[in-house]
Amino acid sequence: MIKGTTKLLGVIGDPIAHSLSPVMHNAAISHLGVDFVYLAFPVKPEDLKAALLGFEAIGLRGFSITIPHKQAILPLLSEVSPIARAIGAVNTVYRTDKGWCGTNTDVEGFLAPLQPPPTPPYQGGATEVKSALESGNRTAESSHSPYQGGATEVKSALESGNMTAESSHSPDQGGARGESDWSQKVAVILGNGGAARAVVAGCAQLGCAQIHVVGRQQQNLAEFQQSWVDSPIPVKSLQVHTWDNLSRLISQADLLVNTTPVGMYPHGEKSPIPLAAIDQISPGAIAYDLIYNPSPTQFLKDAQLRGAQVIDGLPMLVQQGAAALKIWLETESVPVEVMRLALRKHLGLD
């Protein structure tokens, strides 16, 4: 229920009616029982500065940013994180005593399904934890678990099977996880737009041995490559290629990522990769599509038929949102699974 005390969060863009952010954030807010609401605010480019002043006046706690404001907002912020500087875009803004500060959580979202699940602090599973809670004999190590509640909350969560998760490594997610050493891995990224920049930064953080970016226009590719030369994030072995090199690159790829909109609803029958090229993918390689509707995309269907592990864009969407919510609510524990299920239901994927 929205009350006079309810604190505001939101998302800005133009257009903004299509945004799924209110669906997942309000599901999380409801689950947590905190006095917040997340709203969509249509803001035209010429009104961006005025919107920031208005948000400050009404005490907005923070907001997400989508097209066309991700780059335009940079000079209007008091502080911008190194990761947002490197990507050249902000997707999350929060308020501090310095003013409006911006960061980018897309890299964290992209990386989430590629990294191993966090090792639980206990070794014996839910039965042993519940037993320890009932006996009042929690170990010191267990106090570092990602949930913030005490023994009562944890016991209740275990009994209901509905633990609030810090990250979306739940067993029913599918996808490709478990890699811990990427130092010999080759990443191939389709597209050289803003989404590709977040993926390049993510692959650099993973420590990939080679990062290849594939695009249509040589000049744009050259500018893309040059933009990383003095980046706050060191990117080694970044190479750019035109589309005619695709088949050769796919044969080398351990991680193949689509950042283009090809195959997005309502054109789910399309794929950015011709069948002759996808035939070159190595069995066991990871095919990752940032598109989350449809799920799976034609690209992922084709890759899976050839033995690849596949990840759609929903985990990234959820995790970047969860990372933002942690900043705004100043907590390390947000209900990622609740957010994911709310989106799947809204999209008709269940």
**What SS3 string covers 238-262?**
EEEEEHHHHHHHHHHCCEEEECCCC
State whether the Cα torsion 28-30-32-37 is positive or negative: positive
- The yes-or-no answer on residue 44 being catalytic is no
**Residue 161 contacts by C-beta under 8 Å, 6 or more apart in sequence?**
none
C-alpha distances (whole Å) from 246 to each of 213, 243, 250, 286 are 10, 5, 6, 16
Let me know: does 189 contact 257? Beta carbons within 8 Å. yes
Question: What's the rounded Cα separation, in Å, for the pair 286 and 161?
Answer: 30
Task: State the Cα–Cα distance between residues 105 and 96, nearest whole angstrom.
Answer: 18
CA pair distance 332, 219, nearest whole angstrom: 42
Give the H or E element holding residue 14.
Answer: none
Q: Yes or no: say if 289 and 263 are a contact pair by the CB < 8 Å rule.
A: yes
Q: 343: which 2 tokens?
A: 């989106």
Single out the catalytic residue among 70, 98, 130, 301: 70
User: What gap in Å lies between CA 315 and CA 331, rounded to an integer?
Assistant: 20
Q: Are 40 and 9 in contact (CB under 8 A)?
A: no
Residues whose CB is less than 8 angstroms from the CB of residue 30 and which lie 6 or more positions away in sequence, other chains included: none
Rounded to the nearest 10 degrees, the angle between the axes of helix 336-347 and helix 314-329 is 130
* Nearest residue to 9 (alpha-carbon basis) of 42, 33, 36, 48: 36
Catalytic machinery residues = 70
